[in-house]
Chain A
Amino acid sequence: MAVSPLPAQNGTSEIKLSAAKAKSLAVRTGSMSKPGNQGAATAKAKGAELAEQLNEETRQKYVKGKKLGEGTYAIVYLGHLKDDPQSLVAIKKIKVNTEYREGLAMDAVRELKHLQELSHPNIIALHSVFSSRNQNLNLVLEYLPQGDLEMLIRDVEGIRYGAAEVKTWMGMLGRAVWFCHENFVLHRDIKPNNLLIAADGEIKLADFGLARSFSDPYRGMTSQVITRWYRPPELLFGARFYSGTVDVWSMGMVFAELILRRPFAMGTTDINQLELICQNIGTPNEENWPGVTKLEGYVKFDNLNSQPVKGRDFYLGTFGLIGSVGVDLLMAMLTLDPRKRSTARQVLDHKWWATDPRPTAKRDLPRKGGGPAKMGEDLKRRGGEIEDGPGDKVARKLNFAAR
């Protein structure tokens, strides 16, 4: 791990202690009369609320280093603990949009809310949060210098891998998604470039800007989530009552992409995406998906003389690399009817993990070494965005009315 364990996180510095410290600080300031360099630091303690002091305490723990990347939404810096220059972190500074009248943007709210709660080896760790002056939010994240999964998939010439490697990566992704769902959080933006790679080869799910908690009945959710190429048919049909299986579809698309080394269905519009799903996977109808024609955004595809759902032979032909058991898993993840699709738990319970080949050990995985700059690129994006990909931006204007 590039990031050595942090002695204390935002969440961990004990309030009681801080309170005691605050007291002593306040006392010291009171007796302090001579101005000087440390005057600035102590002056702020005077009259500052405890909340402010706690924030200041966290902020003082980190040193911001060079800029790794900048987007419209955030700037990413390399940083480290003040006490330990070896303990690298990435600091994602979310820009306050002065034009945005609604206050803190929903992406930031979602990302903060969920990352603060989820701690799992396959989910990017949020070590701390603090605000710098001008109300800028700084997220202190685990430093992941090895780029993202998309880089490995695209480098067809430089990076060779086989079924064993695919199994390792899918296992890590599967655990990340399963853990989110186990904690009742939908990620809603799973795609290769949100899967960052740690120094030891571990895959880390990042970007929780579209995540939300789920499971309550009668509470509709927006269907305008998940980057188009990875978006399941129910969302393309405008379904507002969905479940964890939306993420499983995305996982299935990533699975297919790992094997094909290109996205499985690269729609240019939502309609085109549906067309590609019909062609490559099968056309949804009342038979394979009861009730689908009643969905709000259902589109009938007359001109495409309805493709039957592709059978095992097709998958074996196209995705033979993962063997017949692997193909079963892929098909279970890319099932049109979300009720029949595998859940994240079922994915992990599948027998493919136990069949040969055994997943490659983490240390033996191919790596490309995206370096710090790549992490900057990955983190500065808002959720749902791909840099200069034609027409693959997810609609950022979330339909909040639909909730």
Chain B
Amino acid sequence: MTEDEIYRTSTQYRLWSFTPQTLASLRSTTNQLAVEGVKSAIQSKRAEARGEGGENGERANARSVSPEVDCLTVEEEQRLVGYYCLKTMEFANFCDFPTNVMATAVQYLKRFYLSNSPMTYHPKEMMPIAVFFATKTENNYISLSKFAAKLNNTTTEQVIAPEFLLTQGLRFTFDVRHPQRGLEGGFMELLALASGKGQPAPGIEKSSMELQDEMVNVPPAEANKPQARTPGEVKSRIGSVHDKAKEILKTAALLSDAYFLYTPPQIWMSALLLVDEPLASFYLDTKIPKSSPMRSKLMITLRACMETLQSSPSARPGKDERAACTRIDKKLYKCRNPDKLDLVGMNQAQKRDGESKDGALDEKIVKKRKLERENSMKEGEDVFGPPLPKVANKQEPP
């Protein structure tokens, strides 16, 4: 097996890697489904309100919405999720969680919103659980009460309620492969090359000394900068490249779609190219010769990845961006799926259901389910999520 073959067995490759077209169509499908859900839920809520006349604030609100609900576009959804990814980073840093917890939490949110819409589940409510769940999966677990205490006005129940939704949205795969550690590997190899101890990839015939000599002659990243002449100077050049690339991985790589479109080595290599192209090219030469067709293929991919990184939403949004997000948030207020507002209640209901079950379903529940199903037929929607099909019930052992 080779490194690449092992990477191909990862869930990040198998489930969470997409071509740009697939990614776009996925997002539009999710958006479309959510719009349908929102519209039918609002309609039925209005019908209910009209029929029963029991008016509270929410209902009144619903009535005032025109039959044509103004829903979020895919683009708006993306911007909003991006904004909450930033919030997640701020929060994780505020809690002093290590970078991997922060980075994983951000990717959890991004993955979750590939198959869920902010109109159904507001990112504000998903953000805490994404971070909390990342503390579990990244070996940085702290108790829920300690965690909730770090958030203002949030109960433990509010944090944990959407956990199941999150894991389902993640398709029960929790491992995220980040480019950070790989960058450290590249950094270590660059230092070894500068010290005259580096070795090229297997199959490339070059001595450590030759490589060291070549490295000293790598032109500076910008024409006006002085050439690094001694191994010591080369090392400080590597040090600064490392710091800058690390910053890109902590921000642009996380906020863009890079994780979906490229592999971790491609991402950190692109970051390196962005920071110091001559040095990165020299390093690539020690891996894959310029003459190899694989090299040109790789360069096309790396250039595309560089572009993705460069066009990433800013990690420090300006006033305009913040204003735009506030506007989207306001718009969202009017097009949220009214059935999915009370996550805590939904969660409890599902769990209660689980407790009373176990073994044969008692008649009451069966009746309740039947009623619910009939209601849902009528209303075309289902309050506590769908009941199971009958077949599945029969398969349950007594």
By the criterion CB–CB under 8 Å, are A117 and B115 in contact?
no
By the criterion CB–CB under 8 Å, are B173 and A23 in contact?
no
Q: Majority SS of interface residues in chain B?
A: helix
Q: Using A117-B175, A131-B168 as known contacts, say yes or no to A49 and B15 having CB atoms under 8 A apart.
A: no
Q: How far is the CB of A127 from chain B (nearest CB, A)?
A: 12
By the criterion CB–CB under 8 Å, are A96 and B354 in contact?
yes
The residues of B that contact A133 with a CB separation of less than 8 Å are 350, 353-354, 385, 387-388
By the criterion CB–CB under 8 Å, are A134 and B357 in contact?
yes
Q: Using A11-B11, A44-B386 as known contacts, say yes or no to A134 and B175 having CB atoms under 8 A apart.
A: no
The residues of B that contact A221 with a CB separation of less than 8 Å are 139
- Minimum CB distance partner of B37 in chain A: A47
By the criterion CB–CB under 8 Å, are A109 and B171 in contact?
no
Residue B230 CB within 8 A of the other chain: no
> Chain B interface: which of A60-68, A166-174, A280-288, A388-396?
A60-68
Residue A103 CB within 8 A of the other chain: yes
By the criterion CB–CB under 8 Å, are A47 and B381 in contact?
yes
The residue that A43 contacts in the complex, of B140, B156, B173, B377, with Cβ under 8 A, is B377
By the criterion CB–CB under 8 Å, are B388 and A16 in contact?
no
Q: How far is the CB of B119 from chain A (nearest CB, A)?
A: 10
Interface residues of B in 221-247 (CB under 8 A from A): none
The residue that B175 contacts in the complex, of A47, A116, A131, with Cβ under 8 A, is A116
Q: What string of 1s and 0s marks CB contacts (under 8 Å) between A47-87 and chain B?
A: 11111101100010001111100000000010000000000
Q: What string of 1s and 0s marks CB contacts (under 8 Å) between B327-348 and chain A?
A: 0000000000101000000010
Residue B172 CB within 8 A of the other chain: yes
By the criterion CB–CB under 8 Å, are B139 and A50 in contact?
no
**CA separation between A284 and B389, bound complex, in Å?**
61
Q: Using A23-B29, A112-B174, A400-B141 as known contacts, say yes or no to A103 and B11 having CB atoms under 8 A apart.
A: no
Residue B266 CB within 8 A of the other chain: no
Residue A397 CB within 8 A of the other chain: no
Q: How far is the CB of B377 from chain A (nearest CB, A)?
A: 4
The residues of A that contact B354 with a CB separation of less than 8 Å are 96, 98, 133-136
Q: Using A43-B386, A49-B116 as known contacts, say yes or no to A16 and B26 having CB atoms under 8 A apart.
A: yes
Residue A279 CB within 8 A of the other chain: no
Q: Using A35-B377, A49-B115 as known contacts, say yes or no to A44 and B382 having CB atoms under 8 A apart.
A: yes
By the criterion CB–CB under 8 Å, are B139 and A212 in contact?
yes
By the criterion CB–CB under 8 Å, are B9 and A134 in contact?
no
Q: What string of 1s and 0s marks CB contacts (under 8 Å) between A165-206 and chain B?
A: 000000000000000000100000000000000000000000
Q: How many residues of B contact A (CB 8 A)?
A: 76
Q: How far is the CB of A142 from chain B (nearest CB, A)?
A: 16
Q: How far is the CB of B33 from chain A (nearest CB, A)?
A: 6
Q: What string of 1s and 0s marks CB contacts (under 8 Å) between A130-160 and chain B?
A: 1111111100000000000000000000000
By the criterion CB–CB under 8 Å, are A102 and B37 in contact?
no
Q: Using A46-B36, A103-B160, A133-B350 as known contacts, say yes or no to A403 and B139 having CB atoms under 8 A apart.
A: yes
By the criterion CB–CB under 8 Å, are A113 and B175 in contact?
yes
The residues of B that contact A10 with a CB separation of less than 8 Å are 171-173
Q: How far is the CB of B96 from chain A (nearest CB, A)?
A: 14
By the criterion CB–CB under 8 Å, are A49 and B139 in contact?
no
**CA separation between A62 and B229, bound complex, in Å?**
65
The residues of A that contact B14 with a CB separation of less than 8 Å are 11-12
**CA separation between A145 and B339, bound complex, in Å?**
45
By the criterion CB–CB under 8 Å, are B160 and A102 in contact?
yes
By the criterion CB–CB under 8 Å, are A96 and B351 in contact?
yes
By the criterion CB–CB under 8 Å, are B22 and A40 in contact?
no
By the criterion CB–CB under 8 Å, are B144 and A119 in contact?
no
Q: How far is the CB of B195 from chain A (nearest CB, A)?
A: 21
The residues of B that contact A37 with a CB separation of less than 8 Å are 390
Q: Using A19-B26, A103-B163, A116-B175 as known contacts, say yes or no to A51 and B40 having CB atoms under 8 A apart.
A: no
- Minimum CB distance partner of A56 in chain B: B386
**CA separation between A117 and B386, bound complex, in Å?**
31
Q: How far is the CB of B172 from chain A (nearest CB, A)?
A: 4
By the criterion CB–CB under 8 Å, are A134 and B29 in contact?
no
The residues of A that contact B392 with a CB separation of less than 8 Å are 59, 132
- Minimum CB distance partner of A214 in chain B: B139
Q: What string of 1s and 0s marks CB contacts (under 8 Å) between B360-394 and chain A?
A: 00000000000001101100111001111110100
Q: Using A49-B120, A117-B9 as known contacts, say yes or no to A134 and B353 having CB atoms under 8 A apart.
A: yes
**CA separation between A328 and B114, bound complex, in Å?**
54
By the criterion CB–CB under 8 Å, are A117 and B10 in contact?
yes
Residue A5 CB within 8 A of the other chain: no
Residue A6 CB within 8 A of the other chain: no
Residue B53 CB within 8 A of the other chain: no
Q: How far is the CB of B367 from chain A (nearest CB, A)?
A: 15
**CA separation between A77 and B398, bound complex, in Å?**
12
**CA separation between A219 and B141, bound complex, in Å?**
13
The residue that A49 contacts in the complex, of B30, B171, B174, with Cβ under 8 A, is B30
- Minimum CB distance partner of B386 in chain A: A44
Q: How far is the CB of A47 from chain B (nearest CB, A)?
A: 4
Residue A104 CB within 8 A of the other chain: yes
**CA separation between A43 and B387, bound complex, in Å?**
9
Q: How far is the CB of A117 from chain B (nearest CB, A)?
A: 5
- Minimum CB distance partner of B181 in chain A: A216
- Minimum CB distance partner of A15 in chain B: B26
**CA separation between A6 and B144, bound complex, in Å?**
38
- Minimum CB distance partner of A9 in chain B: B14
The residues of B that contact A109 with a CB separation of less than 8 Å are 136-137, 174
By the criterion CB–CB under 8 Å, are B25 and A16 in contact?
yes
By the criterion CB–CB under 8 Å, are B36 and A50 in contact?
no
Residue A129 CB within 8 A of the other chain: yes
**CA separation between A131 and B171, bound complex, in Å?**
10
By the criterion CB–CB under 8 Å, are B137 and A113 in contact?
yes
Q: Using A135-B354, A213-B139 as known contacts, say yes or no to A47 and B173 having CB atoms under 8 A apart.
A: no
A sample of 19 more A-B contacts (CB under 8 A), given A11-B15, A135-B347, is A11-B11, A11-B173, A19-B29, A44-B387, A47-B33, A47-B36, A47-B337, A49-B120, A50-B114, A50-B116, A64-B395, A77-B397, A96-B351, A102-B160, A103-B144, A104-B133, A116-B175, A117-B11, A133-B353
25 contacts between A and B (CB under 8 A): A15-B18, A16-B22, A22-B29, A30-B36, A35-B374, A39-B373, A47-B40, A47-B41, A49-B30, A49-B115, A49-B116, A50-B115, A67-B397, A77-B397, A96-B351, A98-B352, A101-B144, A102-B144, A103-B163, A104-B163, A113-B175, A117-B175, A133-B353, A400-B142, A403-B139
7 tightest A-B CB contacts, nearest first? A134-B354, A44-B386, A47-B37, A129-B172, A51-B115, A50-B115, A19-B29
